[in-house]
């Protein structure tokens, strides 16, 4: 009886050691992911004006990002990459959650238009709604993961962050309310992760 209980005790201790090692590995993986995310510091002018960048859409039209909106709508910039499952999910969520009458959705990426062909056709994204420009990605500090930046109608950078899950996109879009669209002042910027 004593030998059986001692054996059972050692089995439990060994299982606990294995569990602690597995947990430590998962914590290390989460820390590595957090270190690889875009910088969490404020963008130059954060809480104030968004960086103003002009770039051509795939249709060839020149579009200016930042500054006061001509149509009075806020703008959601969604940074995507072709062949990325998280980007495909973020696109689906953004299209489902945004009301194009109140919020302009603009997709940004880098590379060649051919790389984005399947993505555009699958989600019915118009050529006027996508810009492939590395300078814009750099100005808004987009990382390797799908992320977004929210600019209000007055051209202020309201919030930005990673949007790999629908809940993250919901949290970002909560910063645009009817009062903001009408021009109500809101100070500061939120960085989501």
DSSP run (H or E) holding 136? helix 134-139
**Per-residue tokens: 152:** 């209000």
Spatial distance between the Cα atoms of 123 and 128, rounded to a whole number of angstroms: 14
Query: What pLDDT is recorded for position 181?
Result: 42
Taking 70 as the threshold, does the pLDDT of residue 100 lie above it? no
Taking 50 as the threshold, does the pLDDT of residue 144 lie above it? yes
pTM: 0.63
Query: What pLDDT is recorded for position 184?
Result: 41
Spatial distance between the Cα atoms of 78 and 169, rounded to a whole number of angstroms: 10
Query: What pLDDT is recorded for position 45?
Result: 37
Q: How confident is the model at residue 71 (pLDDT cuts 50, 70, 90)?
A: confident
Q: How confident is the model at residue 16 (pLDDT cuts 50, 70, 90)?
A: very high
Query: Could you read off the pLDDT of 166-191 as tens digits, one per residue?
Result: 878 777 777 665 544 444 444 444 44
**Per-residue tokens: 66:** 């930042």
Q: Which runs of E-coded beta strand occur in the chain?
A: 53-56, 62-65, 74-79, 103-109, 130-132, 147-151, 157-162, 190-192
Query: Could you read off the pLDDT of 21-45 as tens digits, one per residue?
Result: 999 999 887 876 665 444 433 333 3
Spatial distance between the Cα atoms of 148 and 109, rounded to a whole number of angstroms: 11
128-137, 140-149, 155-164, 182-191: segment of lowest average pLDDT: 182-191
């Amino acid at each position: 009886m004593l030998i059986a209980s001692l054996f059972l005790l050692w089995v439990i201790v060994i299982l606990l050691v294995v569990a602690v090692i597995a947990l430590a590995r998962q914590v290390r993986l989460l820390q590595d992911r957090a270190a690889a995310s875009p910088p969490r510091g404020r963008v130059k002018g954060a809480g104030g004006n968004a960086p103003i960048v002009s770039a051509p859409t795939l249709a060839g039209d020149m579009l200016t990002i930042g500054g006061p909106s001509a149509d009075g709508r806020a703008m959601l910039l969604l940074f995507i990459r072709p062949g990325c499952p998280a980007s495909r999910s973020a696109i689906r969520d953004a299209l489902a959650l945004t009301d194009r009458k109140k919020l302009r959705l603009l997709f940004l990426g880098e590379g060649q238009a051919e790389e984005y062909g399947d993505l555009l056709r699958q989600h019915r994204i118009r050529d006027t709604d996508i810009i492939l420009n590395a300078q814009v990605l750099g100005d808004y500090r987009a990382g390797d993961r799908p992320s977004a930046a929210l600019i209000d109608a007055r051209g202020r950078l309201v919030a930005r962050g990673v949007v790999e899950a629908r809940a993250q996109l919901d949290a970002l879009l909560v910063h645009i309310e009817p009062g903001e669209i009408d021009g109500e002042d809101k100070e500061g910027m939120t960085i989501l992760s």
